[in-house]
Chains A and B, each alone.
Chain A
Amino acid sequence: EDQVTQSPEALRLQEGESSSLNCSYTVSGLRGLFWYRQDPGKGPEFLFTLYSAGEEKEKERLKATLTKKESFLHITAPKPEDSATYLCAVQAVRNNAGNMLTFGGGTRLMVKP
């Protein structure tokens, strides 16, 4: 059974204080790992897809990295507008029929000015 665990559950940062969010996963053959951002009252918004260990993707102040057991979302010099819940999800190689994703519980990030 695929499992995704995100930590911490909540993270409070001061504006400009860099940090990292963790996504640990267990899957029998990783097809892809996905990061999403979710704002209150909205659906998740796609950020990145990572496919293999060692891969990195960047977008503005966000950088996602991947190893064989976990992924990190690094936030450099965050701003209050980066406050949101960040979700991680995995897709296993075997889920070809439905291309289904298994999600973690999310990390709620709060950035104070």
Chain B
Amino acid sequence: DAGITQSPRHKVTETGTPVTLRCHQTENHRYMYWYRQDPGHGLRLIHYSYGVKDTDKGEVSDGYSVSRSKTEDFLLTLESATSSQTSVYFCAIRAVDGNSPLHFGNGTRLTVT
């Protein structure tokens, strides 16, 4: 594994509650990403970070926010969870070399009831 830890691994929450997912890396990589994976849609980018306090939106960012206060940690927050946000969330990291591949964590399975 590429030194990526996601927590929690599983979470069940109720509609309308805030949820924060954590990604921690030990590789000191500059780039970090949050993807969601759903049947029929594949992996879709939510937000990404290109440095401490530097973040930007991906293709499915509505309803999500992120923060990166340290190189090693990238947080994904659902301000008010909805059932459509039930999914598997993956964090990925990438070295500064633009041709290097993404390396993924093992995901967080989130269920919003």
Contact = CB atoms under 8 A, between A and B. Distances in A.
Contact of A51 (B42, B45, B56, B99): B99
Given A43-B106, A105-B42, A98 B90 contact: no
B50 A97 contact: yes
A99 B98 contact: yes
Interface string B97-112: 0110111111100000
B58 interface: yes
Contacts of A42: 106-107
B58 A100 contact: yes
A97 B56 contact: yes
- Consensus secondary structure, chain A interface: loop
Contacts, number: 59
B98 A87 contact: no
B42 A49 contact: no
B interface, how many residues as a size bin? 20 to 34
A34 B101 contact: yes
Contacts of A98: 31, 33, 48, 50, 56
Interface string B23-41: 0000000010101000011
A52 B33 CA distance: 25
A46 B48 CA distance: 19
Interface string B80-108: 00000000001010100011011111110
A87 B99 contact: no
Contacts of B42: 87, 103-106
Nearest to A106: B42
Given A98-B31, A105-B42, A46 B102 contact: yes
Interface of B: 4, 31, 33, 35, 40-45, 48, 50, 56, 58, 90, 92, 94, 98-99, 101-107
Report the 4 A-B pairs with minimum CB-CB distance, sorted nearest first.
A43-B104, A103-B43, A105-B42, A46-B101
Interface of A: 31-32, 34, 36, 41-46, 49, 51, 87, 89, 91, 96-101, 103-106
